[in-house]
Amino acid sequence: MSTSRHLRSWVTSANDHPDFPLQNLPFGVFSVPGLGKRGGVAIGDFIFDLQVALEAGLFSGAAQVAAEGASRSQFNEFFALDASARQALRSRLLQLLDEHSPQREQLQALGNLLQPMSDSQMHLPAQVGDYTDFYVGIHHAMNVGKLFRPDNPLLPNYKYVPIAYHGRASTLCVSGAPVKRPQGQTLAPGAEAPVFGPSKRLDYELEVGVWMGQGNEAGEPIPIAQASQHIAGFCLLNDWSARDLQAWEYQPLGPFLSKSFATSISPWVVTAEALAPFRRAQPARPDGDPKPLDYLFDEQDQQHGALDIELEVLLLTAHMKQQGLAPQRLALSNTLNMYWTVAQMVTHHSVNGCKLQPGDLFGTGTLSGPQAGQFGSLLEMTEGGKQVVELSSGETRTFLQAGDEVILKARCRKDGEVSIGFGECRGVVVG
């Protein structure tokens, strides 16, 4: 079905909605007073309750199978379906919610079909068995590398390997959950022994999350040409980082306590189908960079595997809230700053036989741009704490303080297409 700018919904708040017009239809798990957790679809200022729609007999065939999976309190079963079933459900939802839908009167008569988003609580979309955080934002890798290795910011493997580490799934949290300042060991400059205490260099990281759909059998890699069929959807992701803990612990095995205390994600799963109009050719590698090894190279992926998503970081301090001030933008970047495609991430993760499962979550790594105003972390903005960020409220920051709220947003824009968004990923620092 067309996703042209002329497609509109009988749910009037969806028309010209900044995030959730008819062209988006992301999935989320929600609850309202008196009803348990269940799956729904964002449409304007409302959530289309899939359980109510199923009880009304609005689906059949593959769309019904997908709707049943998506109506539950976790989406693992939904994600495990073949991509064609999810696509059938999307097509049926587009038909039902279109302003010219033959079922319009029937739907409007169902008083509990649309739940106000303002009355709803959002939950994690799936039970995440494994969480892997990649490092595919090349400008972030360059910026951080320059802090520690000015003459050699990128190690040789970066342009051959989609680098990642295995994160902690148990501390994934949905947008709005408070983030408690972590404690751990830090080594002060010039000191010979570490001390224990709360992190003094708490940071955020601007990332996109990738939800795995169908997995693979152990020992059976996912070929690059098929990898896109294993991706169920996308979200925003904030990989909170304690930079002082990280500096002491990361050698020789990489992040541990500095990353495992909290990772915030936005609650809506924006589907691969909704993002199809915003796919682009993967940006050309700089002259002299190696071509990906054969198992990571697919011409179709190179031509259509990149995503054009505008990413934004805003900061709202406790003082700004008290004064009634709006959040201040700290960075504006784009997913086109990814050195590797999502399909390459999936294929590389599985090439050794690693079993990926429905509901596994990937982080892209921090997606900074090459210029000031595009940096996705305070570590980069402050050059490791050496420079101060001046806020419009008169405050300054090098790293996050108690009461600071970090807000991530995302937007897709293209001439001839309706803009869609991801909603927000929020987190307030406690302590």
Question: How far apart, in Å, do the first and last CA atoms of the chain sit?
Answer: 49
Q: 364, 338 in Cβ contact below 8 A?
A: yes
- Going from the C-alpha of 43 to that of each of 46, 107, 347, 420, the distances in angstroms are 5, 14, 33, 11
Based on the residue annotation, tell me whether 139 is a catalytic residue of this protein: no
Residue 259 is assigned to a ligand binding site: yes
Q: 265, 237 in Cβ contact below 8 A?
A: yes
Residue 135 is assigned to a ligand binding site: yes
Residue 263 is assigned to a ligand binding site: yes
Residue 207 is assigned to a ligand binding site: yes
Structure tokens at 169: 């799934």
Q: 256, 279 in Cβ contact below 8 A?
A: no
Residue 149 is assigned to a ligand binding site: yes
Residue 79, SS3?
helix
Residue 16 is assigned to a ligand binding site: no
Residue 256, CB-side half-sphere exposure with 13 Å CA sphere: 12
The catalytic position among 140, 230, 348, 349 is 140
CA of residue 296 relative to chain centroid, distance: 23
Residue 250 is assigned to a ligand binding site: yes
Phi, then psi, of 147 in degrees rounded to 5: -65, -35
Structure tokens at 129: 């068995």
- Going from the C-alpha of 61 to that of each of 57, 89, 285, the distances in angstroms are 11, 9, 44
Residue 133 is assigned to a ligand binding site: yes
Residue 220 is assigned to a ligand binding site: no
- Going from the C-alpha of 149 to that of each of 311, 319, 326, the distances in angstroms are 28, 37, 38
Q: Residues forming the annotated binding site for Mg(2+)?
A: 239, 259, 263
Q: Residues forming the annotated binding site for substrate?
A: 135, 149, 246, 250, 366
Q: Residues forming the annotated binding site?
A: 133, 135, 149, 205, 207, 239, 246, 250, 259, 263, 366
Q: Residues forming the annotated binding site for Ca(2+)?
A: 133, 205, 207, 239
Q: Catalytic residues, which ones?
A: 140
